């Protein structure tokens, strides 16, 4: 299969509360290093002709403005937790300019979550100006948006099954603490993987740093970047140099070419 060249931009790399966290006096939250400033986790995936944003975080508006994103072909949703869908109302300006609904792709669970997140967008008689959303239900079957082929990967997020996605040579998994053997098969051969690594201590629904490193080693993917990071992980400049070659802590604004 032929894959288009992809550019990945990290629009956010923080856990659900973001970093800094409101009211927190810790050194990470007080850090002046931009790499310790993390909006909620999301990426922009671009081929020469197609732009997809993965997840609509509570920081969606700031992310579109920060990275001067003036057009998206679709939103792709990993799961309906608040930090991944809260920004969906802020897609409205795209609709003002194009006159078209925003296409949103997700599994049944994610689309249901979106209907609960912005129920007013799905009523029969809608208030003028509410978001125009076109829902596209996906399953574990591979599909394409524009010229970007996508393979969903089902992972465990505590007791919830959520989606990660493989785009050609690039795999993105943002909220997981376990990946079953048959789903790992889909990741093999990726050149680059993004995984969540919340903090040092183990967590009920997220990989810790050491667990994420183990997964990368087990999969044998040559390049890995960690995301969905908590202030509890520590300062970027202290944690990052301790990681082995091929593994890095992602930060907002990081771009990758594949």
Residues that bind Zn ion (CB under 5 A): 24, 26, 29, 81, 83, 175, 231
Minimum CB separation from Zn ion for residue 83, in Å?
A: 4
Nearer to Zn ion, 40 or 47 (CB): 40
| Cβ neighbours for 234, distance < 8 A, ≥ 6 positions apart | 28, 200
Q: Return the CA Rg of the chain.
A: 18
Minimum CB separation from Zn ion for residue 92, in Å?
A: 23
Distances (CA, A) of 222 to 170, 185, 190: 11, 16, 8
Minimum CB separation from Zn ion for residue 55, in Å?
A: 8
Nearer to Zn ion, 77 or 138 (CB): 77
Question: CB of 181 within 8 A of CB of 153?
Answer: no
Question: CB of 56 within 8 A of CB of 32?
Answer: no
Question: CB of 226 within 8 A of CB of 249?
Answer: yes
- Alpha-carbon span 78 to 15, nearest angstrom: 14
Minimum CB separation from Zn ion for residue 99, in Å?
A: 32
Beta bridge partners of 19: 38
What single string gives the DSSP state of each residue in 223-234?
EEEEESB-GGG-
Nearer to Zn ion, 24 or 130 (CB): 24
Question: CB of 155 within 8 A of CB of 208?
Answer: no
Nearer to Zn ion, 29 or 235 (CB): 29
Minimum CB separation from Zn ion for residue 230, in Å?
A: 8
Minimum CB separation from Zn ion for residue 129, in Å?
A: 29
Nearer to Zn ion, 37 or 47 (CB): 37
Nearer to Zn ion, 223 or 231 (CB): 231
* DSSP-derived pairing of the beta strands 192-196 and 170-172: parallel
Minimum CB separation from Zn ion for residue 196, in Å?
A: 8
How many beta carbons lie within 10 A of that of residue 71, not counting itself? Answer: 8
Nearer to Zn ion, 38 or 81 (CB): 81
- Look at residues 168, 169, 174, 176 and name the one whose alpha carbon lies nearest to residue 150: 168
**Length of the chain in residues, anyone?**
258
């Amino acid at each position: 299969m032929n894959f288009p060249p992809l550019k990945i931009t990290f629009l956010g790399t923080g856990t659900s509360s973001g970093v800094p966290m409101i009211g927190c006096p810790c050194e990470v939250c007080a850090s002046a290093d931009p790499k310790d400033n993390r909006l909620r986790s999301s990426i922009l995936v671009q081929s020469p002709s197609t732009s997809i944003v993965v997840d609509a975080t509570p920081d969606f508006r700031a992310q579109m403005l920060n990275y001067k994103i003036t057009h998206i072909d679709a939103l792709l949703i990993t799961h309906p937790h608040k930090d991944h869908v809260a920004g969906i109302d802020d897609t409205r300006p795209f609709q003002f300019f194009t006159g078209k609904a925003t296409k949103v792709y997700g599994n049944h669970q994610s689309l249901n979550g979106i209907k609960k997140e912005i129920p007013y967008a799905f009523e029969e008689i809608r208030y003028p100006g509410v978001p125009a959303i076109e829902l596209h239900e996906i399953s574990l079957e591979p599909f394409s948006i524009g010229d970007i082929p996508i393979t969903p990967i089902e992972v465990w997020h505590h007791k919830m099954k959520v989606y990660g996605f493989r785009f050609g040579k690039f795999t993105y998994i943002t909220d997981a603490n376990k990946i079953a053997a048959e789903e790992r098969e889909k990741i093999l051969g990726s050149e680059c993987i993004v995984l969540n690594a919340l903090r040092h201590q183990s967590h009920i629904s997220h990989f810790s740093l050491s667990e994420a490193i183990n997964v990368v080693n087990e999969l044998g993917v040559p390049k890995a970047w960690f995301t969905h990071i908590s202030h509890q992980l520590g300062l970027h400049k202290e944690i990052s140099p301790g990681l082995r070659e091929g593994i890095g802590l992602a930060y907002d604004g990081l771009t990758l070419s594949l």
